[in-house]
Amino acid sequence: MTKKILFFIFINIFSLSSICAESAKTKLLPLPKEEKLSYEIKLGQLYLGNAEFVYEGQVKIDNEVLNFMTFEAQTLNFLDKEKIYSHPESLLPIRIEREVVTLFKKEEIKEDYDQKKFILTILKKNGNNEEKMSIKKNAPIHNAILFPHYLRRIPNLKIGSIFNINLPNRQLKLKLVSIDKIRLFQKTFTAFYFKSTNNEIKIWISTDQRRLPLKIEANAGFGYSLVLKEYSS
């Protein structure tokens, strides 16, 4: 049950990948030098586990300066650990290294993004088994986990703005619907409220200077969410 729920979480919430045509030429707001965001993974009111996103700063790989982030999600019998390297200006992913552990297996996954040719190459290793596949798209590809962080860096968010989400297997449109109040862990925040046109995905990002991704919700399947519980920078 937990494994199936987490599958939906990472497909429907974190498989967001695209570039917003309206903001492609906009100079994005800078990321903090360092920050850590901790989330609860919830199914309705049921607690499932924890997730953590950490921006570690910048590193140099192959003579190129890249942003370096880590992401980790853990529930019962499931662990996903990721190292994410992205372009410092556009936040487009360059390389992602993942380790996924379930009750019965451990899988290593490497994702390489060719942002000039719009090709994502995925290499999966499970013991002695190895599988390689490529996905060709018609536009630059955002990493799933990074998409909310791309949204939070857009300086002049306007109600009614549409963001095209180009998934590996489908396309969605995300709209900035309104500015709402949202209450999390006995705190009230004012937030930009985004939702996909099919109501499948919803994202709340705080309107303050930090632009925190407060909540990410998927209404397909089980209706689960990621809820921010702690932030430090």
Alpha helices in 18-100 (DSSP H): none
Residue type, 75: T
What is the SS3 assignment for 189?
strand
pTM: 0.86
Place of tokens 């009750």: 103
Q: What is the pLDDT of residues 9-23, one digit of tens each?
A: 554 444 444 344 444
Contacts of 147 (CB under 8 A, 6+ apart): 16, 17, 18, 165
Q: How confident is the model at residue 200 (pLDDT cuts 50, 70, 90)?
A: confident
Check: CB of residue 153 under 8 Å from CB of residue 31: yes
Note the maximum CA span of the chain: 51
pLDDT value at residue 16: 45
Check: CB of residue 49 under 8 Å from CB of residue 43: no
pLDDT of 182 > 90? The answer is yes
Look up residue 219 and give its two tokens: 């209404």
